[in-house]
Amino acid sequence: MTQATARSVFVTGGNRGIGLAIARRFAAAGDRVTVTYRGEMPPEAENTENSGNFLAVRCDVTDSQQVDQAFKEAEAAHGPVGVLVANAGATHDRLLVRMTEADFTSVIDTNLTGAFRVAQRAVRGMLRAGHGRIVLISSTAALHGAPGQTNYAAAKAGLVGFARSLTQELGPRDITCNVVAPGLTETDMSRALTPEQRRELLRTTPAGRLGTPEEVADAVTFLTGPRAGYIRGAVIPVDGGAGLGH
Ligand code: NDP
């Protein structure tokens, strides 16, 4: 890929787990990648001191001003954002009877409203450019549900309605919005599950193993590539069969 064809890619929560695998895949293909982080910088940014085609910017997706500032930094370094991956996500599992309103709203704020904030900010530039690719990272829990995850499943299901509505708003423009729904994937998030939760999830996963962040990155890079322009408002499972059509 030449400098002229390299795209400006923005990945939220790109300092670890699935987001970092996605960011690495784009960077390896020659794209200019901005990742957001809150706590620790991703290793790539530390090694390169934010030089070259990998930029890390601090951003909490629950704060619109931080989102706007992060986009300004990405645009200044890499040009208008042409590919957005709304990946930042968090869980706060608790059975409904014990869930506080804060448990619920904070998970919605990060997973669903966070995606709204970054998508809205990105779409403005994409409309000007007449081109764009958006991928929202959902979860098998969105369509299947999961005990203890009424907050998380509602947020992740919300992303599906969001992507389908945005797809209709965008109409024939060359801007797509799709959803990737991973199943249990080997990251800090899945490592936080209890052994019982993990066993149960594996029992209902025909592939009989966890997915890897790289397998999720494969689906994301395909959806943002030149051969995916006619895929719109789709939900692509990367779940070893756990969702089975849900
Ligand atoms: P991790 O817990 O490893 O990473 C979560 C990422 O989201 C981190 O980069 C984290 O940043 C970021 N993040 C969390 N809250 C915020 C916030 N308020 N603002 C900005 N960034 C935030 O999770 P995964 O890599 O596993 O998850 C990535 C996505 O995939 C999430 O949307 C998750 O819901 C989804 N997913 C994961 C599955 C799994 O089994 N792992 C299964 C299905 C879906 P920080 O380091 O600063 O906390």
Q: DSSP assignment of 1-51, as one string?
A: --TTT--EEEETTTTSHHHHHHHHHHHHTT-EEEEEESSSPPHHHHHHTT-
Instruction: Dump pLDDT digits (tens) for 153-172.
Output: 999 999 999 999 999 999 99
Superfamily of domain 8-236: NAD(P)-binding Rossmann-like Domain (3.40.50.720)
Phi, psi of 38 (to 5 degrees): -110, -55
CA of 88 to the centre of ligand 1 (A): 5
Residue 168 has what pLDDT? 98
CA of 3 to the centre of ligand 1 (A): 30
Residue 50 has pLDDT above 60, yes or no: no
Asked which of 24-33, 108-117, 199-208 is least confident by mean pLDDT, the reply is: 199-208
Cα separation, 44 vs 49, whole angstroms: 8
CA of 98 to the centre of ligand 1 (A): 23
* Residue 165, both tokens: 């509505």
230 catalytic? Reply is no
- The band of 41, judged by pLDDT with boundaries at 50, 70 and 90, is confident
pTM of the predicted structure, to 2 decimals = 0.96
Cβ–ligand 1 contact at 61 (below 6 Å):
yes
Q: Where are the domains of the chain?
A: 8-236
Please tell me the residue having the least CA distance from ligand 1 atom 7.
Answer: 88
Radius of gyration of the chain (CA): 17
User: What's the whole-number average pLDDT of the chain?
Assistant: 94
Residue 47 has pLDDT above 70, yes or no: no
Three-state DSSP class for residue 225:
coil
Cα separation, 92 vs 10, whole angstroms: 25
Pocket test for ligand 1, best of 71, 87, 156, 210 (most atoms within 8 A of CB): 87
CA of 125 to the centre of ligand 1 (A): 25
Cβ–ligand 1 contact at 152 (below 6 Å):
no
Cβ–ligand 1 contact at 217 (below 6 Å):
no
Please tell me the residue having the least CA distance from ligand 1 atom 46.
Answer: 39
Residue 194 has what pLDDT? 86
- The band of 234, judged by pLDDT with boundaries at 50, 70 and 90, is very high
Contact (Cβ atoms closer than 8 angstroms) between residue 179 and residue 234: yes
Q: Which residues on neighbouring strands pair with residue 177, listed in sequence order? A: 134
- Map tokens 């690495």 to a residue: 24
Mean pLDDT of 99-114: 98
Cβ–ligand 1 contact at 113 (below 6 Å):
no
Residue 51 has what pLDDT? 56
CA of 43 to the centre of ligand 1 (A): 16
| The 174-182 sheet, strands edge to edge | 54-58, 32-37, 8-11, 83-86, 131-137, 174-182, 235-238
Please tell me the residue having the least CA distance from ligand 1 atom 32.
Answer: 89
